[in-house]
Structure 1
């Protein structure tokens, strides 16, 4: 058996898979990002350590449930400052935190933002290491002085379980990595004025990564015997394509999660064009995912559901009550306080609802927002270079109506990735690769079903997408006046 651990932004999960990829058990605990006001969002690292202990003990508590390997994935970015023993020196700054906004805007204005993209095909965003390091250098310099590692969450958990201080090339891809050599680029650190932060960066594991033995502390935390191999990496934006079965160059994945991540597998690094999106190292050399991780995913739906006094269980019914086009209501889904990062970068991006009247229903508002996210998915996946088939996963894909809407907007079949827990599945696959365990990749990643696009809806959504693009361009001019 293989254990996959997924450290999400709001949920920590552990999943036991059989050697054929069947899900045998799942356990989860909520984590609690704390909104401190003023756009500041932080997390308690020890709370997540405890959650990992709880979920692993739950799924591995049955006799014989000792995994052959453990794979860890989860949220990336944010700033998890740890001491030499893997303890937090301060609460972690979440990737949702916006205190890096003015620093990113300064780099955009000075040309540093574009200069970094021209070196590694990655567009910095406010919740990544560089802006947050700059913000803490001004706001909490003592924490940086006391820290031994500017870690990522899953790497911090690996250190607590095994003592290893390393990171994966997928996490490190943005912002400081030379993604062809898979090592840090001192020129990028210099461009951003952060050369002194080099001491905080953990060594990058070479492809395809390696495992580390569960130590005494890890055994005490998990209830598992010492020596079980543990592998941390890649993070969720790369683990999900692996778990979904993205293997052919040009194939794409849409993750309808907190982030709307639209990704395409590529065999080259392209630093031309507009400086936007991410180019993330896959575990094998010579492969990357070109990722457009928009901030407009299920968090946008959560916002409108809260606005109209509804819950997730109401979504299918509300979508059925409003026709395609939402009775003339349109939306831009950019409601994140950090603005937008794909398929364009603008820290001032803001959402809008238009076409409202006294006849507008709450169902119209929900449908308009869901349609806008579907349009954003097409905008992003096309910008990422899609040429092949399209897979979909994430919590939003559990809505049949919403998934059908995405297929209709794309006018492409949607292959539903194997459920549950695509990210944990990818972590398990990466762990098997690192340890050298044989498995049937087709069996592990076989699509659950395929949603065919409704050809009768093609022209309606083609027109709607054109209006969406025009509205985005008009709004960008307003945001920056």
Structure 2
């Protein structure tokens, strides 16, 4: 048995698989996000440690076996400041937090943002390490002084379970890594004014990573025997690609999660073009994931559901009340307080609902948001350079209507990634590679089916996508108009207009 742990933003999960890839048991718990107001969102590392203990014990009991190895994946970014014993020195700053936005805007205005991208193919966004470090250097410098590591969540859990202080190249890719050499680039730290923070960066594991034995403390937390190999990496959007079988250059994956993560496997680092997105090191040398993780995923759907007083279990019924085109209602789904990061970067990006009238139904508004996310997926996938097979995963993919809509908008077949827990599945495969367990990858990553696009909707959604792009360009000019600058658009709530 292999055990995968997935430390998501909205759920902490563990899943057990036999060596043929069959899922034996799954357990999950919901972590607590502390919303402090003014866009500030934090988490308690010890709360996540407790949840990991619970889900691992529950899965192992249900499966009735001791795992041969444990693979960990999870949310990247955010800032988890830990001491030398992997204890938090302050609450973790979630990647959803927007306190880094002013610092990112300064780097964008000064050209530093683009200089960093031209070095490693990664566009800094407000929820990544660099803006948070810059913010804490101003508002809580003592936390940086007390910390031994500016960790990622899964690396902090690895350290608690094994004592190992390391990180995976996929996490470290953004913002400080030279993605070609897989080592930190001191020039990037200097450009950002963060050279003093170099001591906080954990060593990067060489490909394909390394497993570390479960320590006595890790054994107490998990109920497992000491010595079980534990591997942390790659982080969730890369692990999902591994679990979905994205293994040929040009193949891609759309993850309809809190983030709409659109990614394509590439064989070179491209630092040209518009400075957006991520270039993430894969477990294999010479391979990278060109990722465009937009902030417009299920979080946008959750926002509209809350607005109309509906639950996620009602999505299919609400969509059935409308039709393609949402009876004239259109949307831009940029409702994150941190703006947008793919396929363009703009901390002032804000959402819109247009074409409302007294006859507009709740279903029309939900349909418009879902269609706008589908358009965003096409926008990102095309920018990432998709040329091969495309798969789909994530919680949003559980909606058959929404998944079909995305296939129709892209006019591309969507292979349904294997369920359950594609991220944990990828983490297990990475762990197996690290310790030399030979798994049948074709069996582990076999698609559950294929969603074919409906040809009769090609022209409709082609026109809808063209309108979407026109609206995006018009809105980008408005976000930066002198009047919006004066009003401080970046801190205002999303715009809803008729």
TM-score range, shorter chain: over 0.9
Q: Secondary structure, in 3 states, of the residue corresponding to 2:338?
A: coil
2:200 counterpart residue number? 200
Aligned to 2:191: 191
Provide, for residues 287-338 of structure 1, a one-character-per-residue CA deviation record: whole Å limited to 9, x for no partner. 0000000000000000000000111111011111101000000000000000
Task: Tell me the residue number matched to 2:364.
Answer: 364
Query: C-alpha distance in 2, partners of 1:63/1:239?
Result: 23
Aligned ranges 1:265-344 → 2 under 5 Å: 265-344=265-344
Q: Shift of the alpha carbon at 1:158?
A: 0.2
| 1:415 corresponds to | 415
Q: Provide the residue aligned with 2:85 in structure 1.
A: 85
1:31-70 equivalent positions in 2, closer than 5 A: 31-62=31-62, 64-70=64-70
User: 2:150 maps to what in 1?
Assistant: 150
> What's the C-alpha RMSD, in Å, of the aligned pairs?
0.6
Equivalents in 2 of 1:320, 1:64: separation in Å? 43
After TM superposition, the structure 1 = structure 2 runs for residues 466-481 of structure 1, keeping only pairs within 5 Å, are: 466-481=466-481
CA distance in 1, matches of 2:291, 2:275: 12
Residue 10 of structure 1 aligns with which residue?
A: 10
Q: What does the per-residue CA deviation read over 1:78-109, in whole Å, with 9 as the maximum and x for residues that have no partner? A: 00000000000000000000000000000000
Name the SS for the 2:426 alignment partner: helix
Question: 1:193 deviation in Å?
Answer: 0.6
Q: Secondary structure at the match of 2:6?
A: strand
Kept in 1, the 8 Å contact 2:7–2:74? The answer is yes
Q: Work out whether residues 24 and 63 of structure 2, in 8 Å CA contact, stay in contact via their aligned partners in 1.
A: no
Shift of 1:62: 4.7
Partner of 1:120: 120
**In 1, Cα distance between the equivalents of 2:297 and 2:46?**
27
For residues 168 and 360 of structure 2, the distance between their equivalents in structure 1, rounded to whole angstroms, comes to 48
1:244 corresponds to which residue?
Answer: 244
Q: Deviations over 1:187-244 (max 9, x none)?
A: 0000111000000000000000010000000000000000000000000010000000
Question: For residues 33 and 316 of structure 1, what CA distance do their matches in structure 2 show?
Answer: 27
Cα shift readout 1:118-154 (whole Å, capped 9, x = no counterpart): 0000000000000000000001000000000000000
- 1:140-194 deviation digits (Å, cap 9, x = unpaired): 0000000000000000000000000000000000000000100000000001110
**Aligned residue number for residue 458 of structure 1:** 458
Within 2, Cα distance between the matches of 1:64 and 1:276?
A: 46
- CA distance in 2 between counterparts of 1:213 and 1:364 reads 53
Partner of 2:130: 130
Deviation at 1:63, TM superposition (A): 7.5
Cα distance in 1 for partners of 2:331, 2:216 equals 53
1:65 CA displacement: 1.4
Contact 2:251–2:386 (8 Å) recurs in 1: yes
Aligned residue in 1 for 2:94:
94
Distance 1:259 1:227 in 2: 35
- Counterpart CA distance in 2 for 1:156 and 1:401 is 38
**In structure 2, C-alpha distance between the alignment counterparts of 1:308 and 1:115, rounded to whole Å:** 43
**Cα distance per residue 1:250-298 (max 9 Å; x no partner):** 0110000000000000000000111000000000100000000000000
Per the alignment, in what secondary structure is the counterpart of residue 60 of structure 1? helix
Name the counterpart of 1:27: 27
Q: Distance in 2 between matches of 1:267 and 1:63?
A: 39
Runs of 4+ aligned residues of structure 1 deviating over 2 Å after TM superposition are: none
TM-score of the aligned structures, taking structure 1 as reference length: 1.00
Is the CA contact (8 Å cut-off) linking 2:16 and 2:63 kept in structure 1?
no
Q: For 1:477 and 1:56, how far apart are their aligned partners in 2?
A: 49
1:346 is displaced (CA, Å) by 0.1
Contact 2:70 2:230 in 1 (8 A): yes
Query: Closer, same or farther in 2 for the Cα pair 1:440/1:329, shift >3 Å?
Result: same
Count matched residues: 481
Does structure 1 retain, via aligned residues, the 8 Å contact 2:25–2:62? no
What corresponds to 1:103 in structure 2? 103
Q: Matches of 1:385 and 1:195 in 2, distance apart?
A: 34
